[in-house]
Amino acid sequence: MSKSRDLSGCAPQLENLGDGRDNMKKLRSILIIVCIIFCLRPTTVLANQNDYTSDKITEISADPNRIGENSQTLNLSFTTDCPDHALFGQPFQPPTDNNWMASTSDNGTAGSILVFDNFINSGSINRICFWGINGYFSDNRWYVCYESPMEFQIRFFDDNNGFPETQVASFDISCVGNQTGLIYGGAFELYQYFADLAEPVEISEGWISIQGMDGNPECWFAWMSSLDGYDSSSLQWTGSSLNIVEVDRALCLQHQEFLCGDIDGNNVIDLYDVIYFIFYKYKGGPAPASMLTTDINRDDYYNILDIVFLLSFLYKDGPTPVCP
């Protein structure tokens, strides 16, 4: 016997929500989406779509400080470059290049391994994009893992004769790992992370460290190398020594102006931002262009109340979104 559910109790009354028929149609579309999400309660979409079985676990190296020098040939379907407006950029090294290296930078390791890289020609930095791999080293081999969101500590330092010295700023940030579809070493997927800083860092040149923090002790962050960087070197603190590693790290330093409520990042606030936010929050969709645009009602949370606030602004002459 087939079963159906009555959704009529889920949809609020539509009278007096708008004067135009177009607005009514848009509101009905939104309410249908909300009803599907909250009334039907579909199965949760797993963040990691890849089913890594034991036969895909590949021994990359017998070094807990790095994953590297083994790759799977793939056709890249997108650019590896940083945005044109980036203050400083070092694109990630693709898996087709056999010299790639992802270096461990995570406090879950013995010695709290930490990677630094230097930069120049920067300015007022309020957003960072970086790339890395998740892995765990045990019994002299690397294993696939996935942690998302992952907690990071991002720090900036002044330069002193080619080494980091005084700390300028520090941020603890939770970042979602966006899947790129690029596989390294036959099993390890590359993830892209965006970190929006609580306040701009005013620094023209210096050092940055990015370290995975206080998450799964059996899932570490390894920072991917860059194909075309500043000086072909970075630093790694292993807990007992500071070593020079002859690769740059994949990152983009940016200054970006954010429009509150522009969830999809196209510089326009419209119905698509509402849909984008709903699918991100409740359906496992991609993260917003910037989390700074999502706390629309300024209550320090990202939830259905922000969606209601945005709908009121779009169709009921409600207050203009002003994010914190």
pLDDT category of residue 40 using cuts at 50, 70 and 90 = very low
Res 238 pLDDT > 80: yes
Domains delineated in the chain: 57-69+81-254 (no CATH), 259-324 (1.10.1330.10)
Closest CA to 302 of 320, 319, 287, 317: 287
Report which of residues 282 and 130 the model is more confident about.
Answer: 130
With beta carbons less than 8 A apart as the criterion, state whether 113 and 236 touch. yes
Checking if the pLDDT of 99 tops 50, the result is yes
Helix H or strand E segment including 28: helix 21-35
Residue 92: the pLDDT is: 93
Residue 226 has what DSSP assignment?
Answer: B
Q: Is the CB of residue 276 less than 8 Å from the CB of residue 268? A: no
Of residues 46 and 184, more confidently modeled: 184
| Amino acid 28: pLDDT | 61
d(CA 10, CA 13): 10
Q: What is the pLDDT of residue 69?
A: 46
Query: Which whole number is the average pLDDT over 268-282?
Result: 85
pLDDT of residue 82: 81
Asked if residues 322 and 310 have their Cβ atoms less than 8 Å apart, the reply is no
Q: Which two tokens stand for residue 233?
A: 């070197």
Mean pLDDT of the chain: 77
Comparing 268 with 209, which gets the higher pLDDT? 209
Say what the pLDDT of residue 233 is. Answer: 94
pLDDT of residue 67: 66
In this predicted structure, the answer to whether residue 93 has a pLDDT above a threshold of 60 is: yes
Highest-confidence segment of 44-48, 157-161, 258-262, 314-318: 157-161
Better-scored residue on pLDDT, 286 or 10: 286
Helix crossing, 304-315 with 271-283: angle to 10°?
A: 170
Residue 13: predicted pLDDT: 32
Q: Sorting pLDDT into bands at 50, 70 and 90, what band is 206?
A: very high
Q: Reply yes or no on whether the pLDDT at 6 is more than 50.
A: no
Arithmetic mean of pLDDT, 170-181: 90
Closest CA to 271 of 103, 34, 90: 34
Question: Could you report the per-residue pLDDT of 104-156, keeping only the tens digit for each?
Answer: 999 988 779 999 999 998 889 988 999 999 999 988 889 999 998 899 999 99
What pLDDT, on the 0 to 100 scale, is given for residue 324?
Answer: 67
pLDDT per residue as tens digits for the range 292-306: 778 887 787 778 888
Q: How confident is the model at residue 30 (pLDDT cuts 50, 70, 90)?
A: low
Instruction: Give 47-90 pLDDT, tens digit per residue.
Output: 222 332 222 233 345 466 666 544 333 333 344 578 777 899 99
> Are 27 and 315 in contact, with CB atoms under 8 Å apart?
yes
Residue of higher predicted confidence among 222 and 23:
222
